[in-house]
Structure 1
Amino acid sequence: MPGWSCLVTGAGGFLGQRIIQLLVQEKDLEEIKVLDKVFRPETREQFFSKYLGTSIKVTVLEGDILDTQYLRRACQGISVVIHTAAIIDVTGVIPRQTILDVNLKGTQNLLEACIQASVPAFIFSSSVDVAGPNSYKEIVLNGDEDGHHESIWPDPYPYSKKMAEKAVLAANGSTLKNGGTLYTCALRPMYIYGERSRFISNIIITALKNKGVLGCTGKFSTANPVYVGNVAWAHILAARGLRDPQKSPNIQGQFYYISDDTPHQSYDDLNCALSKEWGFCLDSSWSLPLPLLYWLAFFLETVSFLLSPIYRYRPLFNRHLVTLSNSTFTFSYKKAQRDLGYEPLVSWEEAKQKTSEWIGTLVEQHKETLDTKCQ
């Protein structure tokens, strides 16, 4: 099916940029429209310069996911939409309504734009957060899509992603304006790591200010993090599958957990494995037992609620974050392997090396603050 085109939302983000790097290698792709609110004239130049050597037309759009008319124009002539735009916040920094507007209403707006512009394929970047964990006592090892895991947290990020995913999957089979059919699917990546991760960058910069000691935030967890390049690859495979509905009917209206062969480990151990080459180490000092940490979070949330009429107090952590960071919660990618033909492109060793090299550039930028306390 020659001459197809793709719109990527959140294209300037951590995952969006990696998806575009793989998209430009796709056969018969004529145009990529890259949409992000953060794009500015100088950003456009950076984007175009990366892809000057390719025959694919790259159109950079600076637009808001809440602007319905803009979205409809952006979707004109598009074959596949890959929707990665979202606000990720599990600490309560960003107002609840802002997160709901972007993550849920923005997704609904984009689905409607696809119907009006007769876009036949829609891929949603969801999150493992829509599945839980709901309790740090809950143990899920190598879970799968048949496990009926669903987050019960009212916090805006997991709630908005869960409801947005439901909207995307419910839209599968909708009739397009030209009489065609909209096919959708959702991908639920595990915690994503890799070069240019904002979360890892924050952890490293904080540790540099603390003489190379990494803060312990998830020592009680067992997770299966996934490398950003492998998540991007899963999106490419989903796009291929939805573009040919006769060949891949199993994909339509489905969601998939996306993991890779990164070893099961705690979030703290992951941070240490990625950064130890540069002299970082974990904090070995005493920490609160997990149940006490959870109830302290509950107390802080209660204080925040009681003060809310007169003062906006944001706790350093909440129960959702404590649970998310300290649970045994891992999922298999077997369904994606079966239906999408997904196999991780990048091994754990290669992913670790690439991420570690990037961390080295952060250390170089801030080397004057690094001490040898860990060595």
Structure 2
Amino acid sequence: MSLCGDVCVVTGACGFLGKRLVKLLLQEEKTAEIRFLDKHVPPQVLQSLEDCRGETKLSVFEGDIRDGEFLRKACRGASTVFHIASIIDVIDSVEYSEIYGVNVKGTQLLLEACIQENIASFIYTSTVEVMGPNPRGDPIINGSEDTVYESSLKFNYSKTKKEAEERTLRANGEALQNGGRLATCALRPMYIYGEGCRFLLGHMGDGVRNQNVLYRMSVREALVNPVYVGNVATAHLQAARSLKDPQRRQTVGGKFFFISDDTPPVSYSDFNHVVLAPLGFSIQENFMVPLRFFYVVCFFMETVCLMLRPFIRIVPPVNRQLLTMLNTTFTFSYQKAKQELGYMPQYSWAEARRHTREWLASELPLERERIWSK
């Protein structure tokens, strides 16, 4: 089932995943219009898509996702919404009211706009972090959508994404103004890497400051399975096709799907090394301090920051839950997405690694100049 002739709204269209999805829509689907919904859309983003735009109209909607009237205007006349926009925060640096307002209330307002404006399909970009890991660091190996796990989420990011996902799935089957029904689904990607990944860029910058030695924040045994951004974009496209297909719509609607690919399971720190080693980076063999002691240090930092909160807001760069996330085996299969969405990774591990490495190589001179010029 094709999205040919459809009008698609992409929230967070100028972000890491959003830009990749828009490009994929332009390359593989003859959509009538793609609407960029973001706080700010730089002109160069649209200019970079001119070569693959074809006859597709590119429209810009700049505004706040917490503005219901703005969302109704952006959705009017559209058929499919890809809701990617959210605040990502794993150190709790953002005030809870802010992250809840964007991640939860923004999603709710967008769902209401879809119902009012007769949107047929709604694809929500969730995250593996709505599953955990829990504070105990209980592992999951090759988990599935049926895996039972006591999550006890700690991050405000995880909590708000979980609530937004639940609201999205509950909205499946809601009656539209025109008598139709809204179909929704949620995708839970693993840690997403690839060209434009700010986390990889940050790790590379830290390595440059540390004489081309990457910091170790994960034990080697804490396996995760990152997923390439091009494959996550493919999963979104397949989800939209499935929700449009009358036969698959009933099967897919109201469900969530884990999205991974064939990237080999490895720890977060060792993954950074895998993609950066060809650029001359090594990695620390062990933690600078024992991991248990690191937890104690984080506990004291968190306690001091909490005591100072009435007077000044200080956010420690690392907390215990982040350490747990980085040091817990947490891998998931994409078999359900393959069976029900028809999702298959478009890029192999070798291709994904090469594209990522080439992008990092192009950024490395700029990163070195930026760091050493300070």
TM-score, with normalisation over the residues of structure 2? 0.94
In the alignment, is the contact (CA less than 8 A) between 1:135 and 1:327 conserved in 2?
A: no
Go from structure 1 to structure 2 and tell me whether the alpha carbon gap of 1:27 and 1:161 turns closer, same or farther (over 3 Å shift). same
Go from structure 1 to structure 2 and tell me whether the alpha carbon gap of 1:316 and 1:16 turns closer, same or farther (over 3 Å shift). same
Q: Which residue of 2 aligns with 1:8?
A: 10
Post-superposition Cα deviations, 1:245-273, rounded to whole Å, max 9, x if no partner, equal: 33442111000000000000001111111
Cα root mean square deviation, aligned: 1.9
Go from structure 1 to structure 2 and tell me whether the alpha carbon gap of 1:136 and 1:346 turns closer, same or farther (over 3 Å shift). farther
In the aligned structure 2, how far is the partner of 1:60 from the partner of 1:85?
15
Q: Which residue of 2 aligns with 1:234?
A: 235
In the aligned structure 1, how far is the partner of 2:317 from the partner of 2:242?
43
Where structure 1 has 5 or more consecutive residues not aligned to the other structure, the ranges are none
- Structure 1 residue 38: deviation in Å? 2.3
In the aligned structure 2, how far is the partner of 1:207 from the partner of 1:148?
38
- Structure 1 residue 370: deviation in Å? 9.6
Report the AA paired with residue 35 of structure 1.
L
- Tell me, what secondary structure is at the counterpart of 1:64? coil
Go from structure 1 to structure 2 and tell me whether the alpha carbon gap of 1:306 and 1:71 turns closer, same or farther (over 3 Å shift). same
Report the AA paired with residue 117 of structure 1.
E
Post-superposition Cα deviations, 1:115-155, rounded to whole Å, max 9, x if no partner, equal: 00010100000000000000354121000000133632242
Percent same amino acid among aligned pairs? 46
Post-superposition Cα deviations, 1:258-304, rounded to whole Å, max 9, x if no partner, equal: 00000000011111110111100112355333333233322322222
Q: Which residue of 1 aligns with 2:347?
A: 346
Give matches, 1:1-375, under 5 Å: 3-40=5-42, 42-43=43-44, 45-46=46-47, 49-52=50-53, 54-135=54-135, 137-149=137-149, 151-220=151-220, 221-284=222-285, 286-367=287-368
TM-score, with normalisation over the residues of structure 1? 0.93
In the alignment, is the contact (CA less than 8 A) between 1:337 and 1:343 conserved in 2?
A: yes
Report the AA paired with residue 141 of structure 1.
I
Go from structure 1 to structure 2 and tell me whether the alpha carbon gap of 1:157 and 1:50 turns closer, same or farther (over 3 Å shift). farther
In the aligned structure 1, how far is the partner of 2:179 from the partner of 2:226?
41
> What is the aligned length?
369
In the alignment, is the contact (CA less than 8 A) between 1:44 and 1:60 conserved in 2?
A: no
In the aligned structure 2, how far is the partner of 1:206 from the partner of 1:44?
28
- Structure 1 residue 367: deviation in Å? 4.6
In the alignment, is the contact (CA less than 8 A) between 1:211 and 1:369 conserved in 2?
A: no
- Tell me, what secondary structure is at the counterpart of 1:219? coil
Report the AA paired with residue 340 of structure 1.
L
- Structure 1 residue 43: deviation in Å? 4.1
Post-superposition Cα deviations, 1:66-96, rounded to whole Å, max 9, x if no partner, equal: 1110100100111110000011011122222
In the alignment, is the contact (CA less than 8 A) between 2:12 and 2:38 conserved in 1?
A: yes
Post-superposition Cα deviations, 1:216-264, rounded to whole Å, max 9, x if no partner, equal: 1223521000000000000000000001233442111000000000000
Go from structure 1 to structure 2 and tell me whether the alpha carbon gap of 1:286 and 1:197 turns closer, same or farther (over 3 Å shift). closer
In the aligned structure 1, how far is the partner of 2:89 from the partner of 2:308?
21
In the alignment, is the contact (CA less than 8 A) between 1:209 and 1:369 conserved in 2?
A: no
